[in-house]
């Protein structure tokens, strides 16, 4: 109890001396100079994770998609990107220096195969077929490297969250995945979230809470798993 009280008053420096890279927010994939494919990520969960990592003593680099959020106090570096390709390049570059990568961004899976340099004109009365190409997977790219940071992914799903998350953990070679159900006031564009964390031989539920509180709990679990795996 004394230890808990001391940790609570002085802060839990569970990531002291570590470099943490966090990606946050959506990506926008341009169709033409005006239109784009986006997603509903507000960036709030990722920004809360970056803030919690700072509080836990880490040196934090934050790579953000198009969001309207202030950089959390104490973040060492913020890099703003727009597209999935830009986020892929920025994360792979910064990951070389990181001990832990937490991929909290909602990276677009697809981009238009061709980006028009001019605004596409509407042709009255006809539909349109938009050809999409798959974007490179950031976590899978990192996982494929011989030396890479401790990898934490997110899985935001509308259904079958647990099975998708555990599949993604194995398939992408992650160290941990944070799964959340989207909808009903949780997840994207919401103040609250609820996460289930999975790793190779364990799991823990983090019940519904405001994103900053949930981020602190997530960071505590990441620190514990990191120390167990690489400490």
Q: Would you count residue 70 as binding a second copy (CB under 8 A)?
A: no
211-230 vs 44-55: helix crossing angle, rounded to 10: 60
Instruction: Please tell me the count of residues contacting a second copy according to CB under 8 A.
Output: 41
Rounded distance, CA 29 to CA 36, Å? Answer: 5
**Could you say whether residue 159 binds a second copy (CB under 8 A)?**
yes
Q: Minimum distance from CB of 86 to a second copy (Å)?
A: 16
Tokens of 181: 């159900």
- Closest separation in Å from C-beta 1 to a second copy: 44
- Range 161-200, binding a second copy (CB under 8 A): 164, 182-183, 188
Chain residues 89-128 in contact with a second copy, contact rule CB under 8 A: 106, 108-110, 113, 117-119, 121-122, 124-128
Site for a second copy in 4-33 (CB under 8 A): 28, 31-33
Per the annotation, the verdict on 39 as an active-site residue is: yes
**56 vs 17: CA distance, rounded Å:** 10
Contact region with a second copy (CB under 8 A), list: 14-22, 37-45, 86-94, 95-103:
37-45
Q: Residue from 5, 9, 68, 201 that binds a second copy (CB under 8 A)?
A: 68
8 A C-beta contact, residue 22 and residue 104:
yes
User: Which residue in 16, 158, 191, 228 binds a second copy (CB under 8 A)?
Assistant: 158
DSSP assignment of 8-28 equals HHH---TTTT-EEEEEESB--
CA-closest candidate to residue 65, choices 112, 115, 25: 25
CA distance 206 to 178: 10
Torsion angle in degrees (nearest 10) through CA of 74, 139, 88, 95: 50
38 binds a second copy (CB under 8 A): yes
The binding site for a second copy (CB under 8 A) comprises 28, 31-40, 68, 106, 108-110, 113, 117-119, 121-122, 124-134, 156-159, 164, 182-183, 188
């Amino acid at each position: 109890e004394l230890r808990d009280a001391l940790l609570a008053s002085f802060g839990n420096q569970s990531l002291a001396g570590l470099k943490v890279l966090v990606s946050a927010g959506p990506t926008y994939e341009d169709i033409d100079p005006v239109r784009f494919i986006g997603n509903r990520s507000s960036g709030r969960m990722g920004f809360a994770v970056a803030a919690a990592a700072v509080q836990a003593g880490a040196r934090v680099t934050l790579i953000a998609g198009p969001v309207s959020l202030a950089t959390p106090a104490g973040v060492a570096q913020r890099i703003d990107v727009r597209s999935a390709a830009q986020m892929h390049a920025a994360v792979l570059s910064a990951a070389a220096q990181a001990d832990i990568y937490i991929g909290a961004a909602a990276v677009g899976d697809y981009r238009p195969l061709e980006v028009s340099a001019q605004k596409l004109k509407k042709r009255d009365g006809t539909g349109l077929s938009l050809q999409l190409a798959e974007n490179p997977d950031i976590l899978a790219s990192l996982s494929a490297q011989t030396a890479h940071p401790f990898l934490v992914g997110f899985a935001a799903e509308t259904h079958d969250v647990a099975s998708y998350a555990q599949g993604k953990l194995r398939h992408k070679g992650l160290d941990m995945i944070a799964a959340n159900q989207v909808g009903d006031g949780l997840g994207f564009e919401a103040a609250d979230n609820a996460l289930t964390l999975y790793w190779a031989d364990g799991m823990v539920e983090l019940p519904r809470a405001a994103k900053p509180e949930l981020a602190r709990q997530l960071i505590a679990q990441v620190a514990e798993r990191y120390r167990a795996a690489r400490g």
